[in-house]
């Protein structure tokens, strides 16, 4: 007879692991050169569009061409390398400002020197800004007068503040001090920052909204952002069909990844003109669409709802808009229909933060895939060169998006 101890010996229970399911995009893979620094990738077509408008100030109408943006980012990069800023590979700068040409210039100048940019909302509280500066390790902040008093006072001068608008004691001025510190011949010198460059270096460090806890920095590399841009606008049949002939509205905040990636980076990659609104205003937006013959309007559902319910559209010629993107949140069909009645000549597509369409894509009469062409019936079809791994089949909660 077996002893009591032997009878009560626990039996190991082996839980069967949930099956891992891999989904692959049904779209053909495209060639992606994701080994370049992000600034070189986004401006790779610069020679073809050098004399064309790049950034258009929505408030003043001032235009910077692609050649001017290239020269100014080189000049600013040279200034970032010099004292008193002294930035190089691995450094972090903060862009704490509303939409502006200076936002674009500082972002790509940082990329040129191998630094990362952490983006922040100037409407954030002093506590939120101080936490992000501390967590990211930013040593230079590009900001504007309205937000400068929210910055923490760092001991031993550990934080250099650069103002893009007014002058203030203890701060450098973007144009009068930083840009003016570089001799004219230095902004044409080759980029020594390329030495030691690694495509897996972090170039952007946006922070999450903190929905499930405290805000967290999202480490985005040159490789990951170049890949993301390629999946949207590269190839013979791009997922989002931006072209060099397009004029793209930028009314969404550049400190948010939607605007930073899909508007700024993708727009520059194709050589389009970008009309920069400092902040959203419905009437002003419609005026800019009419004045600049805007063709692409990336929006979010609250703006779509505002347009759908407004009588302002009838007072403006919005016929130039050929494509509207709505992202960051889903939108019901009733709102979609009301909105499209105001822009009958445009196509509307809902997009997600992950690389997929909110609608399936179906081949058109030529056999090519057409964006936004089917009923709103699913999460969507994944972009080019994209894998999705469903790690928890039981709950469908944990998904890993694998880009290669």
pLDDT for res 141 = 97
The Cα 402–Cα 404 span in angstroms is 7
The number of CA neighbours under 13 Å toward the Cβ of 67 is 6
pLDDT for res 158 = 82
Q: Which token pair is 36?
A: 């370049």
The Cα 103–Cα 118 span in angstroms is 12
pLDDT for res 350 = 73
Assign domain 65-241 one CATH number from 3.40.50.12780, 3.40.50.150, 3.10.28.10, 3.40.640.10.
Answer: 3.40.50.12780
pLDDT for res 11 = 55
133-159: b or e for each residue (b if 16 or more CB lie within 10 Å)?
Answer: bebbebbbbbbbeebbebbeeeeeeeb
What residues contact 91, with CB distance under 8 A and at least 6 apart?
110, 113, 114, 115, 116, 139, 140
- 376-380 contact pairs (CB < 8 A, 24+): 376/333, 376/336, 376/350, 379/352, 380/352, 380/356
What ranges do the domains of the chain cover? 13-29+363-404, 65-241
pLDDT for res 157 = 63
358-379: b or e for each residue (b if 16 or more CB lie within 10 Å)?
Answer: bbbbeeeeeeebebbeeeeeee
pLDDT for res 31 = 83
With a cut of 70, which residues of the chain have pLDDT below it?
1-20, 23, 154-157, 187-195, 210-211, 328, 351-404
- CB neighbours of residue 390 within 10 Å: 17
pTM of the model: 0.85
pLDDT for res 121 = 96
DSSP secondary structure of 112-135 = HHT-EEEEE-TTS-HHHHHHHHHH
The Cα 117–Cα 222 span in angstroms is 12
- The tokens 């909204």 sit on which residue? 209
Displacement of CA 339 from its chain's centroid (Å): 25
The Cα 126–Cα 397 span in angstroms is 35
DSSP secondary structure of 163-182 = ESSS--TTSEEIIIIIGGGS
The Cα 273–Cα 292 span in angstroms is 10
257-279: b or e for each residue (b if 16 or more CB lie within 10 Å)?
Answer: bbbbbbbbbbbbbbbbbbbbbbe
């Amino acid at each position: 007879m077996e002893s009591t101890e032997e009878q009560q010996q626990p039996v190991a229970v082996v839980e069967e692991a949930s099956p891992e399911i891999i989904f692959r995009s049904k779209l053909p893979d495209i060639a992606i050169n994701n080994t370049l620094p992000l600034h070189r990738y986004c401006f790779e077509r610069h020679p073809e569009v050098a004399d064309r408008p790049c950034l258009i100030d929505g408030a003043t109408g001032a235009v910077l061409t692609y050649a001017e943006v290239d020269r100014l980012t080189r000049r600013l990069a040279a200034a970032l390398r010099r004292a008193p800023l002294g930035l190089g590979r691995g450094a972090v700068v903060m862009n704490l400002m509303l939409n502006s040409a200076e936002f674009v210039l500082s972002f790509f100048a940082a990329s040129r020197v191998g630094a990362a940019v952490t983006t922040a909302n100037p409407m954030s509280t002093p506590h939120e800004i101080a936490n992000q500066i501390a967590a990211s390790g930013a040593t230079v902040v590009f900001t504007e007068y309205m937000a400068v008093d929210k910055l923490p006072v760092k001991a031993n001068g550990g934080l250099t503040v650069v103002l893009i608008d007014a002058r203030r004691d203890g701060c450098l001025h973007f144009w009068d001090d930083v840009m003016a510190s570089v001799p004219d011949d230095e902004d044409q010198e080759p980029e020594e920052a390329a030495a030691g460059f690694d495509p897996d270096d972090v170039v952007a460090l946006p922070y999450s909204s903190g929905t499930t806890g405290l805000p967290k920095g999202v480490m985005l590399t040159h490789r990951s952002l170049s890949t993301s841009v390629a999946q949207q606008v590269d190839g013979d049949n791009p997922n989002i069909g931006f072209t060099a002939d397009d004029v793209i509205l930028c009314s969404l905040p550049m400190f948010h990844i939607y605007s930073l990636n899909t508007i700024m980076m993708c727009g520059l990659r194709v050589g389009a003109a970008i009309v920069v609104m400092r902040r959203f205003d419905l009437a002003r937006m419609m005026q800019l669409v009419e004045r600049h013959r805007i063709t692409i309007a990336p929006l979010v559902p609250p703006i779509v709802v505002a347009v759908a319910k407004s009588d302002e559209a009838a007072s403006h010629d919005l016929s130039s808009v050929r494509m509207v993107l709505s992202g960051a949140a889903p939108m019901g069909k009733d709102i979609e229909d009301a909105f499209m009645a105001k822009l009958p000549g445009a196509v509307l597509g809902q997009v997600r933060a992950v690389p997929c369409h909110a609608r399936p894509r179906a081949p058109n009469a030529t056999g090519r895939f057409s964006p936004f062409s089917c009923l709103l019936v699913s999460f969507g079809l994944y972009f080019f060169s994209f894998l999705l791994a469903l790690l928890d089949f039981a709950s469908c909660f944990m998904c890993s998006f694998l880009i290669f």
